[in-house]
Structure 1
């Protein structure tokens, strides 16, 4: 793992690459008590020439800084974030085999308030860590379409809150709704806005898209960024790739009532979730406390799978993507 510390006098100290091991924690550590914790998630992929590259790490570095600002934490310099990723991937790349698109090196940077103090104020000491592990598909290889629970009781975020940053406090409160989803036979939760409980926002750790129409006339639609949902890197990547592939794209507010009506009438032909872990995962069915409805024929649609294939091919260097999306990592002792 890569580790660095910060304090108000000396700022960020040079990072160190050290063996993965437990870290002693004082019971009064401020970050644990007051949720001053932020994190990121990104992946490194094996390339066609057996080299390794990280997908869009600069975007994660910038989002990490936005999250830090929102929680009154010190910003980690972009170069320090990227250096930590490079050092860790170079050290761990041997765990990632060639020839398996479903495996990647999942990278988890985290920063937390580490000061031992129960005063209700921002920490004056912080630790930044980056760890990695070998990961397969979040829902398995080529997953079956998800069943999704529409939560009309719980809220993930509110206007003026922290819904558009990646902080730990956004995730623990979502677990109750996830348990309700599982009890209803669903794998994921769809969150609605907290004010009207009408507008579709995102899913548990994933953004979502729907497809209106089919074939070359298909339109890709995703909820607009209102400050209460996370601006996902995969979401942004799919909007860009969809345009390159000739699809129309739209970001708009989507009401749950219209979504259901459009699914039942056939206007909405496909839906999928997307994220660093989930990549692109089809949605086949939605339900709430009173009813259930199917998206299209309930199976993965052609537009969904075309976008998934294009994204995976870009991540592995087989298809061209916009400049700068792949960040190569040099592994000492290799010549490529």
Structure 2
């Protein structure tokens, strides 16, 4: 499928019923995650004949999608997660958006959909922030504006084939800490029955089906007093892959940062990739991307050679891992849970994102002065 990417002009329709200033301020003060949305959203249509067209900034509300659309009938959809950060001078920035755009295109390719190129992707972020900039929290704590781009197949056709029409959408809402935090380690349930992804499947794609497939395991985790689920490889049920919505990393006592390699079933986390680069270049650590078994986790926490274990992702940023619980055993927290390396990595990453540390790599992109 050919995308015919150009950056169309955005038609802007502002809402006649914005959320009150008082209600918005309350949402910004205690934002939570994914429970409050801004006043506007973006939609852009694509068709084989017209390419990208009908770019609109419009009031937040229902999407006009037909019951027979491929997104509803066959799950032909994908999404991303990215944040906007307000700096001390009032400007608004985002972090490595070209990586999110590339990952969305990779998801689109897996489902034979179309997704915007970098220029159109970033312009959509700018266009939404332009009208909803008051929703970007002040740079205190870990508050930000969470942006959710998505693509859906919209053609109504019950035959099994790719949709010939696509809608790209963008919604947003103020965000706090998704889960955990440096002083609040997350307990994790080991899923021994459910598998998240298989080789040749959709593990690398960021699509709703991958998350829906883990909901049963996540319910089991909550029953057992855990906030996240750890999934293992489908073939041997031996090796660590990723959590419900985060990548996993291990800090060794001799200065290595270890994480499962991208084997085709693990999401290419942008936070993960950034932390590996920061660890190697800024902290002088040795980075290892390789298989890690649950047995190795248990043995190396016991002997102290895994000194810190943490999870990372756009929503959570970095959060330490507490106890890994399984049906027949527990792995206690690492000796220095939330320790020096975890803290240093988080401070360096969020320092760049919020403008406290100079961005020497060109990772930050300005959305609004």
Q: TM bucket by the smaller chain? A: over 0.9
Alignment of 1:62-211 (within 5 A): 62-139=102-179, 142-211=182-251
Deviations 1:305-327 (A, max 9, x none): 11111111110111123422100
CA RMSD of aligned residues (A): 1.4
- Shift of residue 97, structure 1, vs aligned partner: 3.2
> With structure 2 as the length reference, what TM-score do the two structures score?
0.86
Indicate whether 1:242 and 2:282 are aligned: no
Structure 1 CA distance, aligned partners of 2:174 and 2:314? 13
- Shift of residue 93, structure 1, vs aligned partner: 1.7
- Shift of residue 148, structure 1, vs aligned partner: 0.7
Other-structure match for 1:313: 351
For this pair of structures, how many residues does the alignment match?
328
Among 298, 303, 310, the residue aligned to 1:265 = 303
> With structure 1 as the length reference, what TM-score do the two structures score?
0.94
Contact 1:284/1:297, CA 8 A, preserved across alignment: no
- Shift of residue 8, structure 1, vs aligned partner: 1.6
Q: Any idea what SS the aligned residue of 2:249 has?
A: strand
Other-structure match for 1:8: 48
- Shift of residue 142, structure 1, vs aligned partner: 4.6
Structure 1 CA distance, aligned partners of 2:48 and 2:80? 23
Indicate whether 1:285 and 2:309 are aligned: no
Other-structure match for 1:224: 261
Deviations 1:177-232 (A, max 9, x none): 0001111111101110000011111111111101110xxx4211111110110010
- Shift of residue 99, structure 1, vs aligned partner: 3.5
Other-structure match for 2:99: 59
Gaps of 5+ in 1: 332-336
Structure 1 CA distance, aligned partners of 2:156 and 2:359? 46
Contact 2:85/2:139, CA 8 A, preserved across alignment: no
Gaps of 5+ in 2: 1-40
Q: Any idea what SS the aligned residue of 1:72 has?
A: coil
Structure 2 CA distance, aligned partners of 1:68 and 1:270? 36
Structure 2 CA distance, aligned partners of 1:234 and 1:185? 26
Contact 2:251/2:306, CA 8 A, preserved across alignment: yes
- Shift of residue 101, structure 1, vs aligned partner: 3.1
Moved more, 154-163 or 135-144: 135-144
Structure 2 CA distance, aligned partners of 1:150 and 1:140? 18
Structure 2 CA distance, aligned partners of 1:311 and 1:75? 28
Q: Any idea what SS the aligned residue of 2:198 has?
A: coil
Structure 1 CA distance, aligned partners of 2:356 and 2:260? 30
Other-structure match for 1:36: 76
